[in-house]
Amino acid sequence: MSDLRLEELVFDWNAQTDLARPRRVELCDETLRDGLQSPSIQNPPLEVKLKALHHMAELGIESANIGMPCTGPDAFAHSLALAKEIARQRLPIRANCAARTVRSDVEPIVEISQQAGIPIEASTFLGSSAIRALAEGWDLNALLAHTEQAVSFAVQRGLLSMYVTEDTTRSHPDTLAKLYRAAIDAGARALVLADTVGHADPHGVRGLVRFVKERILKPDEPVRIDWHGHNDRGLAVANSLAAFESGAHCVHGTILGVGERVGNAPLDQLLVNLRLLQWINRDLHSLNDYCQLVHEHCGAPLPFNYPVMGRDAFRTSTGVHASAIAKAQERGAAWLANRIYSGVPSDWFGRSQTIEIGPMSGRSNVIYWLRQRGLEAQEPLVNGLLEQAKRARGVLSEVQVRQFIANHHGGENHA
């Protein structure tokens, strides 16, 4: 058994494609800026943001948006503190700050970069779709002027320039071509394709990324392509993977998918899938801690059935499932127990398999539960617990099971 390889036990249909590993796979964590725009999310204190920054570094996340400092004194102070932490601790994170394409928004980023002593990307954004232009009363000439002025101002003052077109996925290709070329000519070295309202599907993502690569960028032009997606159609993870597949270099996301409306691409799920695809190879054990930090201090929902990080992601009370997991563990094969009823190995992400006792349980559940806690699985006790579980409306809690055990042994002693 120990000589068997996973490849001999699992035929992976996912691998039966010609999908090649992207040449470059980077992630940008937007949790502390775009994620905090959700009206249901709380802005955490600075000490929590600093912890988040260290989680990013530990997880190998290459880039982080550390705020939009032009929005007020507190936002400026927090962005500055985060930038100084990156500098002081020499964290391997490329910092960026958000700004509209106006000089007054970029100036605070210049000040933060100078005070912290690190390069910062000015993530200047501008709406590019016709529907936005109609609402705002904009014309293309004005957009081009704002683009050139903001990017030039940032570059001339020593900032790196990351130019963002809002609503890219609903913008006309001619408009995008003119705006992106103006930004590049002014010194931008990163273009962000934004699915601002979660409109795109994977087919549209592929078409858009390829359009930028083939129709806008010149051969060997040193410009990074970023993808920034929202999850309004529930396609944010699929769209992000399609972006990488099509040649995007960096994808943006937030922990637990927090963000405006239904949120951004969930960065935790992206990390999980990139690891499973073998597009990255890094230690993700601390990912659960990072998700819990955002859940607890930002008020981010963490549903019981949330992929990988939810309470029930690796939890079962079903008899057949529990029996298979228990048998695998009895063989001393933890790797098998983590895969027999799971498409995601729990141990990769700081989680573990949990077996509960409930109405759908069998004897294996009860025996496993008792032995995991160092208790003897005596026949009368096992039968009694199973009988109680079958009458219950849901899974028995730890307190309920232990109370039953106490009553059972009390009854035995009395007898």
Alpha-carbon span 105 to 290, nearest angstrom: 30
pLDDT at site 53: 98
**What are the beta bridge partners of residue 94?**
63
The whole-number pLDDT of residue 9 equals: 80
How many whole angstroms separate alpha carbon 144 and alpha carbon 176? 10
pLDDT at 82: 98
Assigned token pair, 238: 């699929």
Lookup: tokens for 172: 């006309």
pLDDT of residue 411: 53
What pLDDT does residue 4 have? Answer: 59
Residue 253, CA distances (Å) to 30, 154, 194, 260, 367 in order? 6, 24, 11, 12, 42
Please check the confidence at residue 71 and state whether its pLDDT lies above 80: yes
Residue 208 is predicted with a pLDDT of 98
Placement of tokens 């806690």 in the chain = 373
Count Cβ atoms below 10 Å from residue 93 Cβ, excluding itself. 24
Tell how far CA 267 is from the center of its chain.
Answer: 1
The pLDDT of 372-387, averaged and rounded, is 92
Residues of the chain with pLDDT > 70, as a percent, come to 97
What is the pLDDT averaged over residues 260-284? 96
DSSP state letter for 393: S
9-15 average pLDDT score: 81
pLDDT at 414: 40
Question: What is the per-residue pLDDT for 412?
Answer: 57
* pLDDT value of residue 14: 82
Task: Give the pLDDT band of residue 332 (cuts 50, 70, 90).
Answer: confident
Q: Please, which pLDDT band fits residue 10 given cuts at 50, 70 and 90?
A: confident
**Whole-number Å distance between alpha carbons of 127 and 310:** 36
Q: Which residues contact 206 (CB under 8 A, 6 or more apart)?
A: 242, 245, 246
Whose tokens are 């570094």? That residue is 57
pLDDT at 347 over 80: yes
For the cut 60, the answer to whether the pLDDT of residue 413 exceeds it is no
Q: Give the per-residue pLDDT at 35.
A: 96
Residue 95 near residue 120, CB atoms below 8 Å: yes
- When pLDDT is cut at 50, 70 and 90, the band that residue 322 belongs to is confident
Residues 6+ apart with CB under 8 A from 57: 89, 91, 92, 93
CA–CA separation, 190 vs 187, rounded Å?
A: 9
Which residues does 407 contact at the CB level (< 8 Å), separation at least 6?
Answer: none
Of the pLDDT bands very low, low, confident and very high (cuts 50, 70, 90), residue 340 is confident
What number is the average pLDDT over the span 104-128?
Answer: 97
What share of the chain has pLDDT > 90, as a percent? 83
For 28, list phi and psi in degrees, rounded to 5: -120, 125
Lowest mean pLDDT among 47-56, 104-113, 316-325: 316-325
The span from the CA of 62 to the CA of 249, in Å, is 11
Which of the pair, 412 or 65, is modelled with greater confidence?
65
Whether the pLDDT of residue 123 is over 50: the answer is: yes
Instruction: Of 139-143, 340-344, 391-395, give the lowest mean pLDDT range.
Output: 340-344
Radius of gyration for the chain, computed over Cα atoms and rounded to the nearest angstrom:
26
Please give the Cα distance from 40 to 22 (Å, whole number).
Answer: 35
Instruction: Catalogue all structural domains in the chain, each as residue range(s) with its CATH number.
Output: 23-298 (3.20.20.70), 315-414 (no CATH)
How far is residue 317's CA from residue 357's CA, in Å, rounded to a whole number?
5
